[in-house]
Amino acid sequence: GGGRMNKKKATQETIDAFLSAVYPEMTELATTFGSEDSVLKDATEKIAALKKAEEQIAKLENQVSVRDMRITDYKEQIATLKANAEFLSSELERLRSRVVLTPAESCLTLQAALEEGESHENK
């Protein structure tokens, strides 16, 4: 009968050893990760924080796209102004070229200038 007792005792010792080895580890794990509720709470808070960050990013992206649109608009306005300026300066050149006297006119003007010069000298 003694052998059976030893066997039973050994089994009990094995169980005790197993529990004393594993249970503290399980307890430690449980306390490290906290209860399911606190894990869920942490996760919920993290998700909420992420959503907030995503909203912030979306807002910033929107601001950037609005700014980009404004920049594009300004660039278009500047291009239009430059084109207008170029057109006006070419028009001005065209008008100046039309104002230039014909050879006949310039001869008359030259003659008049010479005559005027002579009349001043004669005085």
Domain ranges of the chain: 52-122
Contact, 9 vs 15, CB < 8 A? no
More reliable by pLDDT, 76 or 94:
76
Per-residue confidence at 25, pLDDT binned at 50, 70, 90?
Answer: confident
Tens digit of each residue's pLDDT (9 = 90 or more) over 46-93: 999 999 999 999 999 999 999 999 999 999 999 999 999 999 989 888
Indicate the average pLDDT of the chain.
80
pLDDT at 34: 60
* Predicted confidence band of residue 98 (pLDDT cuts 50, 70, 90): confident
Are 45 and 38 spatial neighbours (Cβ–Cβ below 8 Å)? Answer: no
pTM for this entry: 0.36
Scored b (16 or more CB within 10 A) or e, 70-104 reads eeeeeeeeeeeeeeeeeeeeeeeeeeeeeeeeeee
Show Cβ contacts of residue 104 under 8 Å, excluding neighbours closer than 6 positions. Answer: none
- Asked whether the beta carbons of 39 and 33 are under 8 A apart, the reply is yes
| Residue 41: band (very low, low, confident or very high) from pLDDT cuts 50, 70, 90 | confident
The size of the chain, in residues, is: 123
What percent of the chain has a predicted confidence (pLDDT) above 70?
A: 75
User: Which are the contacts of 34, defined by CB distance < 8 A and separation ≥ 6?
Assistant: 42
Task: Please give the share of the chain, as a percent, with pLDDT higher than 90.
Answer: 36
